[in-house]
């Protein structure tokens, strides 16, 4: 299970890197969104899981319990990355409206364009 | 246990949310936000005094003892920075009242500043790595919104890069947190410190430490400062002053915390790396500070140089150097805010932001000119002002541990700071006046009063070193001896 998840994380990071390196702003934002999923899954893998452990709250007889902390961390991280992505999308939209381009190479700053 | 410890984070958060509903009432917003800052400054100062009397203050939320619950820890270092941050925010607010314009005041500028401060305080006071991430994100989200407030073309263009860099570094931060949790099974600073010490910091942990170094360097502007000059030039000057005084300092705080409390076992690798990065930062910052003619760029690069200087204290890592860094950190927060405010006033009065298009300002505005002069010698470290004592201690620490290369670079960087500001002083303030008496804009009182207060604070810090020295040496002692911190967090009440 961990192996499969790790491979999935790797694939997601690959996709995200490819997207972040592209010129179009929208693709870059999608890249950061996918990157966030990859990172959240990495936290889940690092918490570790096995088939026999049960949910931490149901019953006191189980031999071992799942570690609940990574899931709490991911929940917080998901909310934050959701907010950031929403903000980023709005920012990209406004930038597109104002500067008439979503090409990152054209968004470079120059010294004397006040 | 002290429930007051939650105030610096929660009060601005709640007031910020309430102010969102008071959107049309600009005057009410101003008064409430200013009073909140003052009140929080009072509380942090009280807690700082309390720490001197009764040792480190901790707060476990919901009665869940550390390491299981969420913990806030206030030691001298974090509370000193919190108090300074709120002091600066309160004074800068006066400048923001005068300059930001009604349109932006109705677009939530005060709630955003309060939320920014809540994030900064959360990062300073938190006792575990994940809440450090949360504090960072709260602060960064508020700063994203502040940097783009107004929606001008330049702001939008620069903020995209700022957001992208910070979003990416947040992911790297989360990756580091994941690996740390996977290897050590905890995120509480005190328990992490114990477990790193037990394991003796093997290569894997050193690698994680370097990943964390990368993340915090991006936020602090240590070597990876490429995003900084552009983004600090984009927002209105009052906001830029807050950024210059607070945002990079949070990254510096995190570096100090992590590399004195957790990963202090392999200084040959980590601290040498920090030293090299600090030297490169000082070189790059110095080149930038003298290369540009744009006033905003010059002062942004001065922020970069200061980051390099403060972190060379961490790289040396003995009692004297750490004390020097803390002195200089407090000094730098105050004087950088002052520098931004003065340059903001200059740009407002002359209507140009470049060295070569304005001169003779000191004839029209003598007070402004002389305050800039004082700021300059304060940053360069001339004795009666606040920058001196920090530089002396860092130099002393460098000599004690034989770090002569670092010593040379810190001293040379001071000369570059002096030179870059002297260029401004000579070109902008001296020479023939470009503004005739008739065209002279009247100086707004509210623009100059905050600067006067900061100048007074710089003098007070310089003359009153005795008063603050106890706090600083206590902060440095806590940083140098992790057991004090661990005992305070894990063995409270009992034992």
Q: What is the pLDDT of residues B400-445, one digit of tens each?
A: 999 999 999 999 999 999 999 999 998 888 887 777 777 777 888 8
For the residues of B54-107, what is the DSSP string, one character each?
H--EEEEGGG--TTTS-EEEE-HHHHHHHHHHHHHHHHHHHHHHHHS-HHHHTT
Distance in Å from the first CA to the final CA of chain B: 15
Q: Which residues contact B268 (CB under 8 A, 6 or more apart)?
A: none
* Cβ-based contacts under 8 A for chains A and B: 90
ipTM of the complex: 0.92
Chain B residues within an 8 Å CB radius of A33: none
On whether the CB atoms of residues B284 and B246 are closer than 8 A, the answer is no
- pLDDT over 80 at B60, yes or no: yes
Give the helix/strand (H/E) hosting B173: helix B153-184
- pLDDT over 60 at B175, yes or no: yes
Chain B residues within an 8 Å CB radius of A36: 171
CB contacts under 8 A, A 20-59 vs B, are: 20, 25, 28, 32, 35-36, 39-40, 42-43, 45-48
Q: In whole angstroms, give the CA distance from residue B9 to residue A99.
A: 37
On whether the CB atoms of residues A87 and A27 are closer than 8 A, the answer is no
Contact A73 B177 (CB under 8 A): yes
Phi and psi of B74, rounded to 5°? -115, 105
Q: Shortest CB distance from B175 goes to which of A20, A39, A87?
A: A39
- Signed CA dihedral, B337, B340, B346, B350: sign only: negative
pLDDT tens, B228-280?
A: 988 888 889 999 999 999 999 999 999 999 999 999 999 999 999 999 999 99
pTM for the structure as a whole? 0.94
Q: In whole angstroms, give the CA distance from residue B261 to residue B485.
A: 8
Which of the residue ranges B20-24, B96-100, B125-129, B357-361 would you say has the lowest mean pLDDT?
A: B357-361
Phi and psi of B25, rounded to 5°? -95, 85
Q: Which residue of A has its CA nearest to B69?
A: A69
Average pLDDT over residues B49-76: 89
Q: Find how far residue B327's CA is from the centre of its chain.
A: 13
Hey, which bits of chain A come out as E strands?
none
pLDDT tens, B145-172?
A: 999 988 888 889 889 999 999 999 999 9
- Find the DSSP H helices in B258-294: 270-291
Looking at the complex, does the CB of residue B367 fall below 8 Å from at least one CB of chain A? Answer: no
Q: Give the pLDDT of residue A97.
A: 92
Q: In whole angstroms, give the CA distance from residue B66 to residue B473.
A: 26
Q: Give the pLDDT of residue A111.
A: 47
Q: Within 13 Å and on the Cβ side, how many CA atoms surround B356?
A: 4
Average pLDDT over residues B70-76: 92
Q: Shortest CB distance from B158 goes to which of A28, A42, A109?
A: A109
Contact A43 B177 (CB under 8 A): yes
Q: In whole angstroms, give the CA distance from residue B90 to residue B96.
A: 10
- pLDDT over 90 at B30, yes or no: yes
**What is the b/e burial string over B465-475, where b = at least 16 CB atoms within 10 angstroms of the residue's CB?**
eeebeebbbbb
Average pLDDT over residues B374-381: 88
- pLDDT over 50 at B208, yes or no: yes
Angstroms from B82 CA to nearest CA on chain A: 24
> DSSP class of residue B441?
P
For the residues of B308-358, what is the DSSP string, one character each?
HHHHHHHHH-SHHHHHHHHHHHHHHHHHHHHHHHHHHHHHHHHS--BGGG-
| Residue A59 pLDDT level (bands cut at 50, 70, 90) | low
- pLDDT over 90 at B38, yes or no: yes
Looking at the complex, does the CB of residue A79 fall below 8 Å from at least one CB of chain B? Answer: no
pLDDT tens, B437-475?
A: 777 778 888 888 999 999 999 999 888 888 889 999 999
On whether the CB atoms of residues B31 and B109 are closer than 8 A, the answer is no
More confident call, B21 vs A55: B21
Tracing tokens 């992208």 back to the chain, one arrives at B164
Angstroms from A7 CA to nearest CA on chain B: 15
Q: Give the pLDDT of residue B265.
A: 92
Q: Give the pLDDT of residue B380.
A: 84
Contact A98 B151 (CB under 8 A): yes
More confident call, B203 vs B386: B203
CB atoms under 10 Å from CB of B440, counted, come to 13
Q: Give the pLDDT of residue B442.
A: 81
SS3 category, A21: coil
More confident call, B381 vs B202: B202
On whether the CB atoms of residues B195 and B184 are closer than 8 A, the answer is yes
- pLDDT over 60 at B7, yes or no: yes
Give the helix/strand (H/E) hosting B142: helix B129-148
Q: Give the pLDDT of residue A82.
A: 94
Mean pLDDT of chain B: 91
- pLDDT over 80 at B325, yes or no: yes
Q: In whole angstroms, give the CA distance from residue B462 to residue B476.
A: 19
Q: In whole angstroms, give the CA distance from residue A5 to residue A14.
A: 14
On whether the CB atoms of residues B455 and B374 are closer than 8 A, the answer is yes
Contact B168 A73 (CB under 8 A): no
- pLDDT over 70 at A110, yes or no: no
Q: Which residues contact B143 (CB under 8 A, 6 or more apart)?
A: B116, B243, B247
Bridge partners (DSSP) listed for residue A103: A24
On the 0-12 / 13-18 / 19+ scale of CB atoms within 10 A, B366 is exposed
Q: What percentage of residues in chain B have a pLDDT greater than 70?
A: 99
Q: Give the pLDDT of residue A65.
A: 76
pLDDT tens, A81-107?
A: 999 999 999 999 999 999 888 888 888
Q: Give the pLDDT of residue A58.
A: 64
SS3 category, B126: strand
Q: Find how far residue A69's CA is from the centre of its chain.
A: 18
Q: Give the pLDDT of residue A109.
A: 65
Tracing tokens 């107004």 back to the chain, one arrives at B150
Q: What tokens were used for B208?
A: 């994680």
| Residue B494 pLDDT level (bands cut at 50, 70, 90) | very low
Q: Give the pLDDT of residue A114.
A: 43
SS3 category, A102: coil
Q: What tokens were used for B231?
A: 């983004």
């Amino acid at each position: 299970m961990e192996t499969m998840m790790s491979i999935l994380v790797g694939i997601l990071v690959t996709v995200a890197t490819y997207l972040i390196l592209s010129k179009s702003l929208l693709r870059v934002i999608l890249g950061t969104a996918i990157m966030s999923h990859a990172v959240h899954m990495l936290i889940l893998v690092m918490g570790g899981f096995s088939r026999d452990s049960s949910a931490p709250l149901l019953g006191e007889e189980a031999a071992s319990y799942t570690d609940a902390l990574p899931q709490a961390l991911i929940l917080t991280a998901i909310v934050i990355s959701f907010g950031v992505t929403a903000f980023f999308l709005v920012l990209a939209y406004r930038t597109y409206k104002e500067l008439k381009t979503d090409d990152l190479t054209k968004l470079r700053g120059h010294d004397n364009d006040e | 246990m002290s429930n007051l410890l939650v105030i610096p984070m929660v009060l601005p958060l709640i007031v910020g949310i309430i102010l969102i509903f008071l959107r049309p009432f600009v005057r009410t917003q101003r008064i409430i936000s200013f009073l909140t800052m003052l009140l929080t400054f009072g509380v942090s100062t009280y807690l700082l005094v309390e720490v001197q009397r009764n040792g480190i203050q901790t707060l476990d939320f919901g009665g869940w003892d550390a390491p299981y619950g969420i913990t806030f820890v206030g030691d001298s270092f974090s509370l000193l920075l919190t108090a300074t941050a709120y002091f600066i925010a309160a004074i800068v607010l006066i400048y923001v009242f005068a300059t930001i314009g009604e349109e932006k005041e109705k677009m939530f500028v005060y709630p955003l500043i309060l939320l920014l401060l809540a994030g900064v305080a959360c990062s300073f006071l938190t006792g575990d790595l994940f809440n450090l991430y949360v504090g960072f994100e709260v602060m960064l989200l508020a700063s994203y919104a502040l940097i783009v407030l107004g929606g001008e073309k330049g702001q939008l263009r620069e903020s995209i890069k700022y957001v992208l860099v910070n979003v990416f570094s947040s992911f790297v931060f989360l990756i580091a947190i994941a690996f740390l949790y996977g290897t050590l099974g905890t995120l509480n600073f005190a328990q992490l410190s114990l477990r790193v010490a037990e394991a003796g910091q093997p290569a894997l942990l050193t690698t994680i430490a370097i990943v964390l170094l990368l993340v915090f360097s991006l936020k602090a502007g240590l070597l990876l400062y490429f995003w900084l000059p552009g983004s600090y030039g984009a927002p209105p000057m009052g906001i830029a002053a807050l950024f210059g005084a607070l945002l990079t300092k949070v990254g510096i705080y995190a570096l100090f915390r992590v590399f004195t409390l957790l990963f202090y076992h392999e200084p040959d690798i980590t601290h040498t790396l920090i030293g090299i990065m600090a030297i490169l930062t000082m070189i790059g910052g110095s080149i930038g500070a003298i290369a540009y003619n744009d006033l905003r760029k010059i002062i942004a690069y001065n922020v970069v140089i200061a980051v390099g200087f403060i972190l060379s204290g961490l790289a040396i890592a003995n009692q004297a150097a750490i004390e020097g860094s803390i002195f200089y950190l407090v000094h730098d927060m105050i004087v950088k805010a002052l520098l931004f405010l003065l340059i903001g006033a200059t740009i407002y009065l002359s209507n140009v932001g470049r060295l070569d298009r304005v001169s003779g300002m000191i004839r029209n505005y003598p007070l402004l000119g002389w305050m800039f002069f004082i700021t300059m010698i304060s940053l360069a470290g001339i004795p009666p002002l606040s920058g001196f004592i920090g530089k002396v201690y860092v130099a002393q620490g460098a000599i004690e541990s034989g770090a002569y290369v670092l010593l040379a670079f810190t001293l040379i960087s001071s000369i570059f700071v002096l030179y870059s500001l002297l260029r401004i002083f000579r070109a902008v303030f001296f020479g023939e006046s470009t503004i005739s008496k008739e065209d002279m804009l009247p100086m707004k009182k509210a623009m100059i009063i905050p600067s006067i207060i900061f100048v007074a604070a710089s003098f007070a810090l310089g003359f009153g070193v005795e008063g603050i020295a106890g706090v600083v040496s206590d902060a440095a002692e806590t940083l140098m001896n992790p057991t004090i911190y661990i005992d305070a967090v894990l063995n409270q009440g009992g034992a």
